[in-house]
Amino acid sequence: MDRIRITGGVPLEGDIPISGAKNAALPLMTASLLTDGPLQLSNLPHLMDISTLVNLLTSLGVDITMEGDADDDGHTGRVLTLTCGDLSGTTAPYDLVRKMRASILVLGPLLARAGTARVSLPGGCAIGTRPVDLHLAGLAELGAEIELTDGYIEARAPRGLKGSVIRFPRVSVGATENLLMAASLAEGETVLENAAREPEVGDLANCLTAMGAEIDGIGTDRLVVTGVPRLAGTRYRVMPDRVETGTFAVAAAITGGDLTLRHADADGVSAVAEVMARAGVAVKQKAEGLRVRRNGAGISAVDVTTQPYPGFPTDMQAQVMALMAFSDGAAMITETIFENRFMHVPELARMGADITVSGSSAMVRGVSELKGAPVMATDLRASVSLVLAGLAATGDTLVNRVYHLDRGYERLVQKLAACGARIERISDRGESVRDG
Ligand code: UD1
């Protein structure tokens, strides 16, 4: 298994191109199941999770072609054309779903298009139990008959789906996306209340609109969908990744560097930018992207509580904790979205961080120095927080289980190395390897 070795202490300087958003690309890809026309998606990141979904969609009968492209910066993004002429199946098997929870996003589209779907229940997940009850209750509200058998969700809508009013008892990004797609082909009007407002939901809604769906309230927590009999293919560009943007913003801050994050959109990262500003980091929107720098000044401690958008994102909690580990005070970090999302804490502590967890809160007392160590984490964002800590620590940090990073960060090692980081990926045989 590959590892990443980092020798910390270099302030990062330069430009980093921000890739297309994984969490927007995945639901957009599943929207191809809703139409027999070609859906062409550009600016797709090259990531393991995308490949996993390509495999799942292919197994359902979606014909997929992939090309690379490059814009003026030489920034490569993939162009994927997905055409689902006829479905060849309606089952998402355990083997594929267990690799990626977002596979559940085929449920709504399959049900709407074919009137039947069989999707494996996602397995246990390292960041809490993460049930799918909101997805199922919403689809049942649209008239689907749902049974759970042998670890599979069996859903049927023999007479089609019918619009209804669905009020989510809690905000769920995935359930909002599944219902948005299903409702687009349902009969009549569907109202989604307490819907997730994450920009990735907006990206999906805009693409569905371009495919012929009728959706009002995009960007708000009340989406009104008027079902249409059919949707058409379209071309759509995936939004920039706001978690990748935030992660590299922390890389600039934690190393006392100066980075310009190309293609980054300040609007989507305002909660992170606000925390940065309060910590003493300058964040400025420029024509070419977002410039983030910390010149000499220390890092002020800032309390952070994760919330649904537009609040502070749970997907940035681990990274900001790494930053606060170097602050000149004490920061309380509270996680309200997922239980058990503090797996990075014991690893950061092994590097010398002073963190005490009590329930869903972590008290982070800043220290003047972290020391490099062999570390590993069991999820994507926790892993990248260890890379960030390693960039600012003294000595060598060896991050194990790099496959978590491959799921969500495109060319992470290359992007950081291009800005001066002493970082390399090494194979289990100890050889330096290129970061795909
Ligand atoms: C998406 C993101 C993930 C991010 C999360 C929260 C993708 C592919 N993933 O995940 O990176 O961390 O949003 O911003 O976009 N819940 C239920 N029942 C359900 C569904 C969810 O109780 O049926 C709970 C979850 O356990 C969690 C909370 O609701 O505690 C939010 O989850 P949700 O917004 O659904 O996350 P995902 O869509 O899985």
The per-residue pLDDT for 127 is 54
Instruction: Judge whether 106 and 82 are in contact, CB under 8 Å.
Output: no
The per-residue pLDDT for 72 is 45
**Distance separating alpha carbons of residues 357 and 360, to the nearest angstrom:** 7
**Distance separating alpha carbons of residues 410 and 435, to the nearest angstrom:** 9
| Residue 94 in this model has a pLDDT that exceeds 70 | yes
In ligand 1, the atom with minimum distance to the C-alpha of 128 is: 26
Instruction: Judge whether 350 and 373 are in contact, CB under 8 Å.
Output: yes
Tokens coding 200: 């990735």
| Residue 413 in this model has a pLDDT that exceeds 60 | yes
Q: 337: CA distance to ligand 1 center in Å?
A: 8
Task: Please tell me the residue having the least CA distance from ligand 1 atom 29.
Answer: 172
**Distance separating alpha carbons of residues 374 and 347, to the nearest angstrom:** 9
323 versus 431: the higher-pLDDT residue is 323
Instruction: Judge whether 104 and 119 are in contact, CB under 8 Å.
Output: yes
| Residue 73 in this model has a pLDDT that exceeds 60 | no
In ligand 1, the atom with minimum distance to the C-alpha of 177 is: 38
Residue 419 bears catalytic tag: no
Pocket test for ligand 1, best of 105, 121, 130, 170 (most atoms within 8 A of CB): 130
Query: In which element (H, E) is residue 349 found?
Result: helix 344-350
In ligand 1, the atom with minimum distance to the C-alpha of 339 is: 30
What separation in angstroms does the CA of 275 have from each of 18, 174, 285?
20, 26, 16
Q: Is 133 in the pocket of ligand 1 (CB under 6 A)?
A: yes
Q: Is 24 in the pocket of ligand 1 (CB under 6 A)?
A: no
Q: Crossing angle of helices 199-210/173-184, nearest 10°?
A: 10
Strand, coil or helix: 388: helix
pLDDT (tens digit per residue) in 257-289: 999 999 998 889 999 999 999 999 999 999 999
| Residue 379 in this model has a pLDDT that exceeds 70 | yes
Give the chain's mean pLDDT.
93
**Distance separating alpha carbons of residues 428 and 422, to the nearest angstrom:** 19
Q: 142: CA distance to ligand 1 center in Å?
A: 21
Q: 417: CA distance to ligand 1 center in Å?
A: 32
Q: 336: CA distance to ligand 1 center in Å?
A: 12
Q: Is 170 in the pocket of ligand 1 (CB under 6 A)?
A: yes
The per-residue pLDDT for 384 is 96
1 versus 430: the higher-pLDDT residue is 1
Task: Please tell me the residue having the least CA distance from ligand 1 atom 9.
Answer: 23
The per-residue pLDDT for 70 is 53
190-194, 338-342, 357-361: least confident range: 338-342
B/e letters for 299-338, b = 16+ CB within 10 Å, e = fewer, are bbbbebebebbeebbbbbbbbbbbbbbbbeeebebebbbb
**Strand (E) positions, 39-164?**
39-44, 63-70, 76-83, 91-92, 116-120, 145-149, 152-156
118-127, 185-194, 308-317: least confident range: 118-127
**Distance separating alpha carbons of residues 390 and 416, to the nearest angstrom:** 12
Task: Please tell me the residue having the least CA distance from ligand 1 atom 31.
Answer: 172
Q: Return the number of other C-beta atoms located less than 10 Å from residue 186's C-beta.
A: 26
Q: What is the mean pLDDT of residues 351-378?
A: 95
Instruction: Judge whether 202 and 218 are in contact, CB under 8 Å.
Output: yes
Instruction: Judge whether 377 and 240 are in contact, CB under 8 Å.
Output: no
The per-residue pLDDT for 372 is 97
Query: In which element (H, E) is residue 225 found?
Result: strand 222-226
Residues recorded for the chain = 436
The per-residue pLDDT for 76 is 58
| Residue 435 in this model has a pLDDT that exceeds 70 | no
**Distance separating alpha carbons of residues 94 and 123, to the nearest angstrom:** 8
Instruction: Judge whether 224 and 386 are in contact, CB under 8 Å.
Output: no
**Distance separating alpha carbons of residues 426 and 432, to the nearest angstrom:** 4
Q: Is 130 in the pocket of ligand 1 (CB under 6 A)?
A: yes
Query: In which element (H, E) is residue 47 found?
Result: none
Instruction: Judge whether 219 and 180 are in contact, CB under 8 Å.
Output: no
pLDDT (tens digit per residue) in 20-72: 999 999 999 999 999 999 999 999 999 989 999 999 999 999 999 988 765 44
**Ranges of H-type helices in 222-343:** 242-255, 270-279, 317-324
Instruction: Judge whether 332 and 357 are in contact, CB under 8 Å.
Output: no
Q: Is 132 in the pocket of ligand 1 (CB under 6 A)?
A: yes
Instruction: Judge whether 143 and 159 are in contact, CB under 8 Å.
Output: yes
pLDDT (tens digit per residue) in 213-241: 999 999 999 999 999 999 999 999 999 99
Paired residues of 17 in beta bridges: 262
Q: Is 338 in the pocket of ligand 1 (CB under 6 A)?
A: yes
Task: Please tell me the residue having the least CA distance from ligand 1 atom 32.
Answer: 172
Strand, coil or helix: 187: strand
